[in-house]
């Protein structure tokens, strides 16, 4: 995967403002460390409040030319960006490997779904063209228009697809966008702007802010308070999402929040156990489990639990964490020492309180093997806390009704899955699950940018994709005409 990629250089990225890379006003930089080697992965400009103010002014000044560009022209530019993605693949792969420890399959997943997000955004914008009447009458009609400058705050864990999703939907509707890059993937996120700029997105319409971790609060607060910023979308932790929601509310800014999850996968006694096990392993350990919709909880009927766990154990036997540069490594490191420490504490707490270790070994720095824990009970931290790592807990239940009770006994409600041959029962259970998305006989990890993606409860509000997201990035206005 990485044999033909130069990994010896250390990328250095500046802020992306007005179509060019520009150092931060103070001239400072910060370093992101490679989670596999602890060596410097990238250096990025450390933006501050004054940079945020300048960037917002540039984005506002360039909003008009993009918002008045015909939707068909915007669509062609964005589709050109999709066609350019393969050209950038090696650079994206290099950056994802060094900044977040991504394995090759995760890189390809990101690029593929990012392209699908572009296509979904374009299709939606063509369906709802700005400045065109929705319900025109001779003297009373409505128009749908772009809102202005949108702030997009994207996470590091799926840096290509989630950054592209956060910017391409507002761009397609004619907004200018500021991407606030993650401190853990600044170079990867900055490259997204290069793709869009090469495709023809005009100068000043797409900007990228990078900042050191200690300046994140200052930068985000400045953006949200800025009168030019009209909408905010954030993908990340529930803890930070609550802060952003509060800041946005203070300034009456509408925000779209896609937050944490603790996705349950329910396996009923009539399920295809091989299929359920494959999908559970995929959902739990893809990208080291660092996915908002990762399979965190495996809820299985007691009568088949031992057989099912035996299948799971066999499937995860070779999921040993290592440096993705090495051939055959399927599981990379977790993204930071703090994540590794938190995961180790969750495992230790569960084992101390009676859980059984089915698979997994001692943590090795930021390397944590695929870990399965059986006999999870409410007294354990892992019962209620989001893992966001290569850990899945197994919860034994006596009936489908108990499975629903256990699944819903959680503050999160992003994704869920049900495995059974009884599709009538499955649909009934799906309607009872408190999650924004439910998948029958497939993984909790499923992404179709044309469908409404988002959660319930502490997993956030608002939706990316489908008609459900149109109001997130446009305004509807009512206009009447009276005789002179």
Q: Which of 99, 258, 301, 386 is catalytic?
A: 258
Element spanning 358, H or E: strand 356-359
Query: Does the annotation mark 258 as catalytic?
Result: yes
Over the stretch 42-71, which tens digit does the pLDDT of each residue have? 999 999 999 999 999 999 999 999 999 999
Q: Is 203 in contact with 155 (CB distance < 8 Å)? A: no
The secondary structure of 14-64 as a DSSP string is -EEETTEEE--TT--EEEEE-TTT-SEEEEEE---HHHHHHHHHHHHHTHH
**Position 4 pLDDT exceeds 60:** no
pLDDT number for residue 363 = 92
pLDDT number for residue 9 = 85
The secondary structure of 198-223 as a DSSP string is HHTPPTTTEEEE---GGGHHHHHHHH
Better-scored residue on pLDDT, 3 or 38: 38
Q: Which domains does the chain have, with CATH numbers?
A: 12-259+459-479 (3.40.605.10), 263-448 (3.40.309.10)
Q: Is 301 in contact with 270 (CB distance < 8 Å)? A: no
**Position 7 pLDDT exceeds 90:** no
What is d(CA 414, CA 411) in angstroms, rounded to the nearest whole number? 10
**Position 1 pLDDT exceeds 70:** no
Q: What are 404's two structure tokens? A: 């629903």
pLDDT number for residue 130 = 66
Q: What percent of the chain has pLDDT over 90?
A: 93
Over the stretch 445-462, which tens digit does the pLDDT of each residue have? 999 999 999 999 999 999
Instruction: Residue 310: count other Cβ atoms within 10 Å of its Cβ.
Output: 13
Classify strands 412-413 and 456-457 as parallel, antiparallel or unpaired.
antiparallel
pLDDT number for residue 139 = 83
Closest CA to 165 of 127, 213, 205, 112: 112
Q: Is 204 in contact with 176 (CB distance < 8 Å)? A: yes
Over the stretch 376-418, which tens digit does the pLDDT of each residue have? 999 999 999 999 999 999 999 999 999 999 999 999 999 999 9
Over the stretch 94-150, which tens digit does the pLDDT of each residue have? 999 999 999 999 999 999 999 999 999 999 999 998 655 555 556 888 889 999 999
Over the stretch 267-312, which tens digit does the pLDDT of each residue have? 999 999 999 999 999 999 999 999 999 999 999 999 999 999 999 9
The secondary structure of 267-322 as a DSSP string is E-TTS-HHHHHHHHHHHHHGGGG-STT-EEEEEEEHHHHHHHHHHHHHHTTT--B-
Over the stretch 146-205, which tens digit does the pLDDT of each residue have? 999 999 999 999 999 999 999 999 999 999 999 999 999 999 999 999 999 999 999 999
Angle in degrees, CA 196, 178, 30, rounded to 5: 95
Query: Which SS3 state, helix, strand or coil, does residue 461 take?
Result: strand
**Position 239 pLDDT exceeds 80:** yes
| CA distances (Å), origin 389, targets 23, 179, 235, 253, 286 | 34, 26, 17, 32, 9
- Average pLDDT of the segment spanning 335-340: 97
pLDDT number for residue 330 = 94
Instruction: Output DSSP code: residue 133.
Output: B
| CA distances (Å), origin 97, targets 41, 107, 269, 465 | 9, 8, 40, 28
Angle in degrees, CA 355, 358, 360, rounded to 5: 105
Better-scored residue on pLDDT, 143 or 232: 232
pLDDT number for residue 135 = 56
**Which residues 6+ apart lie within 8 Å of 348 measured at CB?**
none
């Amino acid at each position: 995967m990485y044999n033909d990629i130069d990994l010896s250089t250390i990328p250095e990225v500046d802020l992306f403002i007005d179509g060019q890379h520009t150092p931060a006003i103070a001239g400072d930089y910060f370093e992101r460390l490679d989670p596999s080697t602890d060596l410097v992965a990238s250096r990025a400009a450390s933006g501050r409040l004054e940079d945020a103010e300048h960037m917002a002014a540039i984005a506002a000044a360039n909003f008009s030319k993009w918002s008045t560009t015909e939707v068909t022209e915007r669509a062609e530019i964005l589709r050109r960006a999709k066609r350019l993605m393969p050209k950038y693949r090696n650079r994206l792969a290099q950056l994802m490997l060094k900044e977040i420890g991504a394995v090759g399959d995760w890189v390809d997943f990101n690029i593929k779904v990012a392209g699908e997000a572009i296509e979904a955004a374009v299709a939606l914008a063509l369906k709802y063209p700005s400045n065109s009447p929705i319900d025109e009458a001779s003297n009373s009609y409505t128009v749908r228009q772009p809102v202005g400058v949108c702030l997009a705050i994207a996470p590091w864990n799926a840096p290509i697809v989630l950054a592209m999703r956060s910017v391409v939907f507002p761009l397609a509707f004619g907004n200018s966008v500021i991407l606030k890059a993650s401190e853990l993937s600044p170079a990867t996120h900055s490259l997204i702007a290069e793709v869009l700029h090469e495709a023809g997105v005009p100068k000043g319409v797409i900007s990228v802010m990078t900042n050191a971790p200690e300046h994140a609060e200052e930068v985000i607060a400045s953006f949200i308070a800025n009168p030019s910023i009209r909408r905010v979308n954030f993908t990340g932790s529930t803890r930070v999402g609550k802060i952003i929601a509060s800041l946005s509310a203070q300034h009456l800014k509408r925000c779209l929040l896609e937050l944490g999850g603790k996705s349950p996968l329910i396996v009923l006694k009539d399920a295809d156990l091989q299929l359920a096990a494959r999908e559970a392993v995929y959902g739990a350990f893809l990208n080291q489990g660092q996915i908002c919709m990762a399979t965190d909880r495996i809820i299985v009927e007691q009568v088949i639990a031992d057989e099912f766990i035996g299948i799971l154990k066999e499937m995860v036997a070779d999921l040993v964490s290592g440096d993705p540069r090495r051939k055959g490594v399927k599981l990379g490191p977790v993204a930071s020492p703090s994540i590794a420490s938190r995961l180790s504490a969750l495992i230790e707490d569960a084992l101390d309180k009676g859980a059984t270790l089915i698979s997994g070994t001692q943590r090795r720095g930021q390397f944590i093997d695929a870990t399965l824990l059986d006999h999870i009970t409410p007294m354990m931290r892992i019962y209620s806390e989001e893992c966001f790592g290569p850990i899945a807990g197994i919860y034994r239940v006596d009936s489908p009704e108990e499975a629903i009770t256990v699944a819903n006994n959680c503050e999160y409600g992003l994704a869920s899955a049900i495995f059974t041959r009884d599709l009538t029962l499955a649909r009934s259970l799906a309607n009872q699950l408190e999650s924004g998305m439910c998948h029958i006989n497939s993984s909790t990890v499923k992404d179709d940018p044309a469908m409404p993606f988002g959660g319930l409860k502490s997993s956030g509000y608002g939706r990316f994709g489908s008609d459900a997201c149109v109001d997130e990035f446009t305004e509807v206005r009512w206009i009447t005409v009276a005789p002179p």
